[in-house]
Amino acid sequence: MADTLTPMHVEIISPDGAIYKKDGVDMVIARALDGDFAVMKNHVPIAAALQVCTLRIQFGDEEERMAVFGGFLDMKDNKVHILAPLAELADDIDVARARAAKKRAEERLAAKKADLDVERAKAALKRALVRLATKEAKF
């Protein structure tokens, strides 16, 4: 029989410690290496490697968004644990800084200099785009 009384708990942890904790969550939506997925209360245990993505946490009629830069999600017994090297709540994202980082990364990629670390520039661009999408609620 499914447990209908225990609320779903979400905790996001980075190397610096806990970033986010919330009880009473209805759904968590994230992007794994093989695509988008969601977990809800009483979901079967799951573990997934996360891409750089916008994480959405829904409870009631509200939703909180967070930019997550890789990591892992583990769901068991109505507890979602996310371990991420870095995560930023939408409210904490500096849009001007993200736009400047996007512009720098695009300029580096367009210049195609011989000493350019292409993968690093692409990763910087992706981080900037995810920050902007998270802040502006574009998925």
* Residue range 65-118, pLDDT digits in tens: 999 999 999 999 999 999 999 999 999 999 999 999 999 999 988 887 878 788
pLDDT at 113: 81
Question: For residue 139, what pLDDT band results from cuts at 50, 70 and 90?
Answer: low
Sequential DSSP letters for 80-129: EEEE-S-EEEGGG--HHHHHHHHHHHHHHHHH--TT--HHHHHHHHHHHH
Instruction: Tell me the average pLDDT across 11-39.
Output: 95
Residue 3 is predicted with a pLDDT of: 54
Total-model pTM: 0.86
Please tell me the predicted confidence (pLDDT) of residue 1.
43
Torsion angle of alpha carbons 64, 65, 68, 71, nearest 10°?
Answer: 40
pLDDT class of 4 with cuts at 50, 70, 90: low
